[in-house]
Amino acid sequence: MNRGRVYDDERLAGAYQSGNEMPEESLRDWTELIGSFAGRPAPSVVEVGAGTGMFCSAMARWLRPSRVVGVDASEAMLRQARRFNSHPGVHYLAGTAEAVPTGSGLFDLALLSRVVHHVPDRRRAARELARVLRPEGAVVIRTTFRERLDALVYDYWPRLRELDERRFPSEAEVLEDFAGAGFTVRTVTSFARPVTATLGEYHARMVARPQSKFTQLTAAEFQEGLARLEAAAHAEAEASPAAVVERYDVAVLASAA
């Protein structure tokens, strides 16, 4: 993905895998949901903005696909993908949503997970995805639309919500951009699964600033929010620890027949 220089940051790429992984059961639930939209057995899948390849390797393991291709513009991320999520059924390629480095009509399913807000030209990206998909192929967009920003990080870093309201597109904007490329809406739904067993575990992973959104904050702002999160984690540990659950919007669009 062309996401500025942020994802070329070796530090972020190194922290991304451990800072964004989820329990095996949650990952499998997400993978099976995504795969359910492929519409055929042994689907051919491309993930655009694959990052460190968490979903690529998961889809290779659980969907029994004929092909999985992970595309990302960041060489730093691709190195981590090949290190942590290599699989004989997965090929990682450098590329962008606007220029997917594959032939046309190859895929049944395209996944964009937590990346659509990074795409500089969504209309061009939609046309490109229409090119690489087979007729009636599906695009699955896993994101949080602007009108439903509810990530836990906003509770501790409230300025991030203000900043993300400027960065994240609305549901209507995304659907309109893809409609212009001939896509029709199959469904827009919501799905949530645990990412850590406790708030303390969540705090431990946030220390490494494993999400690109943290680059928008000053060092002081980040540390202030981290201190708020640490205090909340200590209070929860003394009371009743509970799993941290993350929710995402899931928009599924079908290419033309």
Q: How far apart are CA 195 and CA 247, in angstroms?
A: 10
Please report, in tens digits, the pLDDT of each residue of the chain (257 residues total).
333 445 567 777 777 788 789 999 999 999 999 999 998 999 999 999 999 999 999 999 999 999 999 999 999 999 999 999 999 999 999 999 999 999 999 999 999 999 999 999 999 999 999 999 999 999 999 999 999 999 999 999 999 999 999 999 999 999 999 999 999 999 999 999 999 999 999 999 999 999 889 999 999 999 999 999 999 999 999 999 999 999 999 999 999 98
Q: All domains of the chain, ordered by start, with CATH?
A: 6-148+168-194+247-254 (3.40.50.150)
Question: Which tokens in the block code for residue 12?
Answer: 């972020």
Question: Which tokens in the block code for residue 18?
Answer: 């451990």
Q: How far apart are CA 20 and CA 171, in angstroms?
A: 24
SS (H, E, C) 216-251: HCCHHHHHHHHHHHHHHHHHHHHCCCCCEEEEEEEE
End-to-end Cα, the chain, rounded Å: 27
pLDDT at residue 6, rounded to an integer: 54
pLDDT at residue 7, rounded to an integer: 55
In sequence order, the 6+-apart residues with CB closer than 8 A to the CB of 73 are 1, 2, 3, 7, 94, 95, 96
pLDDT at residue 8, rounded to an integer: 63
Burial class (CB in 10 A: 0-12, 13-18, 19+), 92: buried
Secondary structure letter of residue 73 according to DSSP: S
In sequence order, the 6+-apart residues with CB closer than 8 A to the CB of 123 are 177, 180, 181
Query: What predicted TM-score, i.e. pTM, was given to this entire model?
Result: 0.94
pLDDT at residue 143, rounded to an integer: 98
Q: How far apart are CA 97 and CA 90, in angstroms?
A: 18
- Is 93 within 8 Å of 102 (Cβ atoms)? yes
pLDDT at residue 144, rounded to an integer: 98
- Is 53 within 8 Å of 84 (Cβ atoms)? yes
